[in-house]
Structure 1
Amino acid sequence: MSAPSELPRIISVDDHVIEPAHLFETWLPAKYRDRGPKPLTAGIGELEYVGGKYRITTDPDGPLTDWWEYEGGLFPYKRIIAAVGFSRDEMTLEGITREQMRRGCWDPKARIQDMEANHVEASLCFPTFPRFCGQTFAEAKDLEVGLACVRAYNDWMAEEWCGDSGGRLIPLCLIPLWDVELAVKEIHRNAARGVRAVTFSEIPTYLGLPSIHSGCWDPFFAACEATGTVVCMHIGSSSQMPAASPDAPPAVQASLSFNNAMASMMDFLFSGVLVRFPQLKLAYAEGQMGWIPYALERADDVWREHRAWGGVRDLIPEPPSTYYYRQIFCCFFRDKHGVASLETVGVDNATFETDYPHVDSTWPHTKQVAAEHVAGLSPETTYKILRGNAIRMLGLDFDK
């Protein structure tokens, strides 16, 4: 059965926002502004990506770049994270200013115009300067100001970035990663104004935080379950990308990026978290999905053959794949192998993304890319993976 001639409008569960220069001046309480993040425009020097980490220097005579200054550190915006509108050969590690970016990177009205041109109805956006799950503020020396920054970002996200979009921009909020009780309060504060998604680290121990096996995060998971808040985990939200060799070119990390999502999913499947919180929903962003069938096969084999000595005999009562199909969502944008394995990946578990405005983004050709991937799928399955599963996952009001 062929896909319909007119594709359903897409709901993208993984896009990104470049924070406007006024964010903290507007949304951070006045008493913290002197110690909070400040925007500046200055020259950039050498910028390299080595072993999964950026190395950056400044240069007064270098190309102008927009930065954030926070607690003495500098965070530059790079062309690869605001790449839409550039050719593939122009998508480099060079610095960039907001004026050089496509306006939809940081302006919500312009973003919706770019979504219109890209067959996208709604979009969930991960942060940039705070990093994918708010690591920037978790690493702060002054955690009082860090907490204020988390709340300011969330207020801006919910009230300004998403506020006038008619639901087309879907709020995704941060938590103070360093304090679970404060994280629980922030989940409830945002849920009260309709936020149903929070960004979290794929592997918290890489950030020096407790593991999900420790039980430390259980109050956070309970709050997410109680409020219907989806726990969204982007590749790189552990501040590490897989690297085979320390001197490997960045292409190696880019090719291996799904490994973080796979490791995180195994952690959750064998942690007991999904057993204790059966209504909790997890969503993996930018990890693609072609690897999932074998990962589930291996997890179930380990559970059957090795659960006694493997430490999960009394912890995981059913095959791990049971909890994946019940509670975990994946997403993709270029993964024909995953689509060919969709019955095992899960027709109710797969969602779609455009990754705007990153170097991987399918903008402005997302409709064509999506059509190529769903060719041959039924209209019902096409609807699910392009929008229906995202609507169900996030509790959206579309199509009601």
Structure 2
Amino acid sequence: MDDHTVEPPHVWRDRLPSKYRDIAPRIVRAPLKEMTFVGGKFAPKMGAPGDDGPIADWWVYEDLHRPLTRLDTAVGYSRDEVKLEAITYEQMRPGSYSVPDRLADMDVNHVQSALCFPTFPRFCGQTFTEAKDHELGLLALRAYNDWMVEEWCGPEAQGRLIPLTLIPLWDAELAAAEVRRNAARGVRAVCFSEIPPNLGLPSVHTDAWDPFFAACDETGTVVAMHIGSSSRMPSTSADAPPAVGSTITFANCCFSMVDWLMSGKLDRFPDLKIMYAEGQIGWIPYILERADVVWEENRGWGGVADKVLRPPSELFAEHVYGCFFDDAFGLRNLDAIGVGNVLYETDYPHSDSTWPKSREVGEAQMGHLPQDVVERIVRGNAIELLGLTEDGLWAGPGA
């Protein structure tokens, strides 16, 4: 329920009119002058031809110059070799961007089907939201969705790659239309920001997103939120090393889930489902306990008495899913989370990925659980949530 695709260079070159060729997202090979990742902020600097520095493939779009990095695709390298460095396509594992190679790597890892988040567009399409030209941004976003459905998850994928699309975050009506456009061809998951105000967008406490939420509710489209989809990874200070943020990545999911549970939206949209990718699950029991106490004892002055009509833990059980790839603590407390609210992931090809040992990790951490519970966690819940076939495959357009 959380892998990633590194988009191949042709995605926008082949799917946008030729008049946009020089301004649409495109790959440029150039040196890297400098790159830092401090206080949760990633800052690369692109060199000119002939400058010193390692050569990298860069996505160029308006004022954005974004190199491919080893953190985008770390599988196949030892942990000690995974550093903050810029790379080219030739320096990454082909399964990062090639469908046949991805399926082969899934076979090695005992993975049948995978839902993949984007790389260059970022985890909920922030790249296009931040662009100056939203007319081109909308075309580029739709081109990505078409590539996702028709090529990445096309016939060559044999139903094993499950589409996950983007929306134009700057316009909730356009977002609703894009959800419906993709739902009509079988898409059942869409990316969204964990904390929209961090992107300068309205919060889930407003009515601004209601057209989008309504479209998801009506079409059975799952709202998928990945850590970092607010463009602000947790950190404690500007000079905190990346290890600090990496340890507390779950925090954004925690804040976001409380937002949703206290927003009233899960009562207003009874069929809406939301999921948190790469946030792990061990933190969930306490947050549900605390949210229920606040709702019971403080709702009169807490601003939720008239809109949150049931205990937050009940809303969680019906609407919210947590994804994990390595969380022995969470699995020891599964009864406090809910067997039906947990999904398995491998995070291929990122540095945190358990590939190619996801099965071994799962067996080690789930060995104490009954087989029927394991089956639900690693297959059944995802099949039900995404409307897959009984065999765990995406049935394709029109599904």
TM-score (norm 1): 0.96
CA distance in 2, matches of 1:277, 1:181: 17
Structure 2 unmatched runs, 5+: 393-399
Partner of residue 110 from structure 1, selected from 95, 101, 108 = 101
CA drift of 1:81 comes to: 1.5
SS where residue 57 of structure 1 aligns? strand
Q: CA deviation at 1:167?
A: 1.3
- Within 1, Cα distance between the matches of 2:321 and 2:175? 23
Contact kept? 1:333, 1:352, Cα under 8 Å: yes
Q: Cα deviation per residue 1:237-269 (whole Å; 9 max; x = unaligned)?
A: 000011112111000000011000000000000
Aligned to 1:286: 278
Q: Which residue of 2 aligns with 1:41?
A: 29
Instruction: Give unpaired runs (5+ residues) of structure 1.
Output: 1-12
Structure 1 ranges of 4+ moved more than 3 A: none
Q: How far did 1:31 drift? A: 3.5
Secondary structure of 1:263's aligned partner: helix
Give the equivalent residue in structure 2 for 1:5: none
Q: Distance in 2 between matches of 1:29 and 1:117?
A: 39
Tell me the residue number matched to 2:188.
196
Following superposition, the deviation at residue 376 of structure 1 comes to 1.3
**Structure showing greater relative contact order (alpha-carbon pairs closer than 8 Å, 6 or more residues apart):** 1
* Aligned mates of 1:74, 1:329 — CA distance in 2: 34
Equivalent residue for 1:50? 38
In 2: Cα distance, 1:180 partner to 1:32 partner? 25
CA distance in 1, matches of 2:382, 2:13: 33
Number of the residue aligned with 2:365: 373
Q: Which residue number in structure 2 is paired with residue 257 of structure 1?
A: 249
* 1:1-400 equivalences in 2 (<5 Å): 13-59=1-47, 60-164=51-155, 165-399=157-391
Q: Does structure 2 conserve the Cα–Cα contact (< 8 Å) formed by 1:24 and 1:37?
A: yes
8 Å contact kept, 1:29–1:148: no
**CA apart distance, 1:348:** 0.3
Q: Deviations over 1:279-332 (max 9, x none)?
A: 000010000000000000000000011000001111111101111000111010
Q: CA deviation at 1:42?
A: 1.2
Q: Distance in 2 between matches of 1:127 and 1:89?
A: 25
Deviations 1:145-199 (A, max 9, x none): 0000000000000000010212100000000000111111101111111111100
Rounded Cα–Cα distance in structure 1 between residues aligned with 2:164 and 2:20:
23
- How far, CA to CA, are the matches of 2:390 and 2:101 in structure 1? 21
SS at match of 2:21: helix
- Give the Cα separation in 1 of the matches to 2:77 and 2:191: 28
Deviates more, 1:312-321 or 1:229-238: 312-321
- 2:288 and 2:227 map into 1 onto residues whose CA distance is 19
Percent identity between matched residues is 57
* Contact persistence 2:46–2:65 (CA under 8 A): no
Q: 1:126·1:172 contact (CA, 8 Å) conserved in 2?
A: yes
- Structure 1 position 65, deviation (Å): 0.9
**Alpha-carbon distance in 2 for matches of 1:116, 1:399:** 15
Cα shift at 1:399: 3.0
Question: Superposition RMSD on alpha carbons, in Å?
Answer: 0.9
The one-letter code matched in structure 2 to 1:121 is Q
Deviations 1:211-255 (Å, cap 9, x if unpaired)? 111111011011001111000000000000111121110000000
Deviation at 1:29, TM superposition (A): 2.8
Name the stretch that deviates more: 355-364 or 56-65.
56-65
Distance in 1, matches of 2:352 and 2:390, equals: 27
Q: Distance in 1 between matches of 2:391 and 2:70?
A: 36
C-alpha distance in structure 1 between counterparts of 2:357 and 2:204, whole Å: 38
Number of equivalent positions: 388
TM-score (norm 2): 0.96
CA distance in 2 between counterparts of 1:79 and 1:280 reads: 36
CA–CA distance in structure 1, aligned partners of residues 175 and 195 of structure 2? 17
Q: Kindly state the Cα deviation for residue 270 of structure 1 after the two structures are TM-superposed.
A: 0.3
User: 1:10 is matched with which residue?
Assistant: none
Asked if 2 retains the 8 angstrom alpha-carbon contact of 1:32 and 1:148, the reply is: no
> Quick check: 2:280–2:326 contact (8 Å CA) kept in 1?
yes
